[in-house]
A and B are shown apart, each in its own frame.
Chain A
Amino acid sequence: MAPSAPDPHDGRLEQLVELVVALASGEADARMEPSPASDEIDAVIVGINMMAEELRALNVDLEARVAERTQQLEEAQLQLRRLALYDPLTGLANRTLLRDRIDAAVARAERGGAGTAVLVLDLDGFKAVNDSFGHAVGDLLLTEVADRLRSSVRATDTVARLGGDEFALVIVDASAEQVLALAERIRSDLQTPVLVGGHSCWVSASIGVCFPVRGLDADALLRDADTAMYAAKSGSRGGVQIYEPAMHAAAVARVRLAEELREAIAGGQLEVRYQPIVDLGSGGFAGAEALVRWRHPTRGLVLPGEFIGVAENTGLVTALDRWVLDTAVAQLARWRASGLGSAEFALHVNVSPVELRSPGFSDGVLACLAQHGVPPADLLLEVTENQMMGEDAQTLQALDALRAAGVRVGIDDFGTGYSSIGYVRRMFVDVVKIDRSLITGLDTDPQQYRVAAAILAIVRAFGLDAVAEGIETPEQAEQLRALGCRFGQGFNWGTPLGSDALIESLTTRQCQRPSSDAPEVGEPLRRTARMPDDDGVLAN
C-alpha cells in the first residue's frame, strides 16, 4: 500500500528540522513522534529517532568503557608506583622512596622541626640461613624481619629495604636518646629466633646511626649510616654505632687500600713466606704454612691484618687466595724437584670461606695441583673455625670432593670459637690447629697446661692430628710432645722464611732452628681471623 503524499503544511518537516538542530546541539534525548500517516516523513522521523537512540547507547557504552579503562590505568599506575617505590618482597619502601623520605625529613628538621635520624641495618647470619636452608627460607626470614621493623617504628617513620639483607629507617621527630633506644629495641627484637619454613633461624643486626647535619643530602646520609653500620659490624656482632666523621676517612682509606690491593695482586707486590711445621717427636720439618705478605711500593710491608678484611669485603679475597695457592703449590713442586724429593711434607694453605662456597672451588684446587704435578696428599687447606659456621651444602660438598681426592682439611685457630667440639666430631676434618691463646704460658701456668692437655685428649679421641700454634720455647714444645701433640709451629723454630731459606733449612738441618735468607724478626703477636700471619714486624 503506497502512503498518501505528505501534506507540506502539516508542519512535520519544520519539526524534523528542529529535531535535527536539537540533536546537533547536544540534546541527546530529543525525539519526535511520528504521525499516524507512516509515510516517508515518518520513516525519516523514526530513523532519526532510532539513530539518536543508537548514538546515545553507543555514547553510554563508550563512557562506561572509558571509565573502565581509566580505572585499569589508575590501577596500573598504582602498580607501577608500587614497583617503582616499594620492595616487592617485603612491601617496604625501596631506595628511591627512602631518599625522598630522608630529604623530606631533613628539610622539615632544618625548618625547625624535631630531630631526624637515618639508620642502616644489616643482618648478621643471614647468609648462613640462606646457604643452609635455601633462598625460600631466606626470603621468609627477610619478610619476618621487615614485619618486626615495621612494628618497631611509628607510622610517621619509614622502613626501607636497600637490598639483600640490608634495611634502612628514617626516624622523624625524635631525640638522639629516643633514636638510640629504638635502635637497641630493634636489635633486641631481632635477636628473638624466627621460625620460618620449619626452621628456627637466629640472626642479629648491626645498626649504623647517622644524625643529619646541614647540607648533607639523602645519599650522603645513607653513606654515613652505612659506614657506621660497618663499624658496628666490625666490632661485636649485633651492635649499634653512631656515625663519626673519622669513620668516613677510614672508609675512604679502605676503598683506596682495596684499589691498591687489586693492583698488588696483578702487579707482583705480594709474596709468600713459609712458616715451618715441626714434628715434635723427631724435630724435623713436617711441612710449612704459606703466609701472604704485601710489599707495598710506598708503605713498605703491609700486614695481612690490614688488608685481609678489605679483601674479604671487596671480593678480592678470591684472587688473593688463588694467587697464594698457585704460588705455594708451584713452590712445593720446585722444592720437590730440587732437594725435598719425596720426603713427607705438607703444604698448609689458608682458604677463605667465600672461596669454599664458590662453585668450582674444589675443581680449581685440584687443577692447580695437577698443573704443577703436586699430589693432593701434599696439600692441607686450613679453614678458620669461625668461618665454618655456615656449614652450607656447597662448603661441605667442596670439602668432600677435595678429601676424596686426597687433599686434607684442617681447622685453624681451634679453641677460639664456640662450636669447637662439634667440628671435630664431624667427618670433614683431618687436622686440628690449636690456637696460640691455648698454648701461651703453657710451661708456667698449670691451668693452661690442664686445658691444653684436655684439648689434646679430645683431638686424639677423635683420631685427628694436632698442630700447636704459637710455640715460643723448647719447654712448651717438650710439654706438648709429652701430652701427645704431634706437630707444632711458632717462634721456637724461627720466623716465616723465604722459599730458598726454607729448603736450605730443610735439607741441611733436620730439627734445629733454621737459618734464614731474609728472616723476619720476632714471633707474631697477632694473627688475622682468616689467615695466620706470624709477622715479625709486629714484634719490633
Chain B
Amino acid sequence: MSEFDSGTPLSDRVLAVLAVRLDPTGFVRLSWDRDLRITGEMARAAMALVDATNAGRERPLLVDMTGTAALTREARMTFSRRCSASRIALLGSSPVDRVIANFALGVSAVPVPTRFFTSEPLAVAWLTDGAVGT
C-alpha cells in the first residue's frame, strides 16, 4: 500500500498517485494508483484537479478505483461534497473495490447520481447516455 509522503509538495504528490484527463467523448477520467490508501488530503486534491479540468463546466466523472486498498472516512466525506461532476461512475473489479465503493455510496450522502461498475463500457454508457447496468 502506498502512502503520501508528507514532505513532498502537494501537486507533485497528487500527480504521483492519480491522473485526471478529459476523455474525447466528453467525460473526465480520474484514475488512482493501485494499492493506495486514499486520504482526505488526496481526495481534496483530486477534486481540485477535476474542477480545474472542467474549468467552470459540469461533466460526468469516471473514477477508476480498481485495486484501491482503503478509503478514509475523511476522504469519503470530501467526496460527498458537490464538485463540477454532474454524475459519477465508480469503476472497480474486485470484491474489495465493491465494498469500498459502496461505503462511499452508502455511508455518505452523495450530491449527484453515483454508481459502482465493474465494466468500463457500462460505466461510460451510464455516464454519457444515462444507460442503466453494472
Contact = CB atoms under 8 A, between A and B. Distances in A.
Interface of A: 1, 3, 33-34, 36, 38-40, 42-44, 46-47, 49-50, 53-54, 57
A39 B97 CA distance: 10
20 contacts: A3-B94, A34-B69, A38-B67, A38-B95, A38-B97, A39-B96, A40-B95, A42-B94, A42-B96, A43-B94, A43-B99, A44-B99, A46-B99, A47-B99, A49-B70, A50-B71, A50-B99, A53-B72, A54-B107, A57-B73
Classify chain B's interface size: 10 to 19
Contacts of B13: none
A38 B94 contact: yes
Contact of B96 (A43, A53, A54, A57): A43
A46 B69 CA distance: 8
Interface string B11-51: 00000000000000000000000010000000000000000
Contacts of B94: 1, 3, 38-39, 42-43
Contacts of B107: 54
B21 to A, nearest CB: 24
B93 interface: yes
Given A43-B94, A50-B70, A54-B73, 14 more contacts: A34-B69, A40-B95, A42-B94, A42-B96, A43-B96, A43-B98, A44-B99, A46-B70, A46-B96, A46-B100, A47-B99, A50-B73, A50-B103, A54-B107
A49 B103 CA distance: 11
Interface in B59-84: 67, 69-73
Contacts of B100: 46, 50
B95 A39 contact: yes
A34 B72 CA distance: 15
A48 to B, nearest CB: 10
A34 B36 CA distance: 12
B99 A53 contact: no
**A-B CB proximity, top 9 nearest:** A43-B95, A38-B94, A38-B96, A43-B99, A47-B99, A43-B96, A40-B95, A42-B96, A50-B103
Nearest to A36: B35
Of the listed residues A1, A33, A46, A57, the one surrounded by the most CB atoms of chain B closer than 10 A to its CB is A46
A1 B95 CA distance: 10
Nearest to B92: A38
A54 B98 CA distance: 17
A44 B97 CA distance: 11
Contacts of B35: 36
B75 to A, nearest CB: 11
Contacts of A44: 99
Contact of A47 (B1, B69, B103): B103
Contacts of A43: 94-96, 98-99
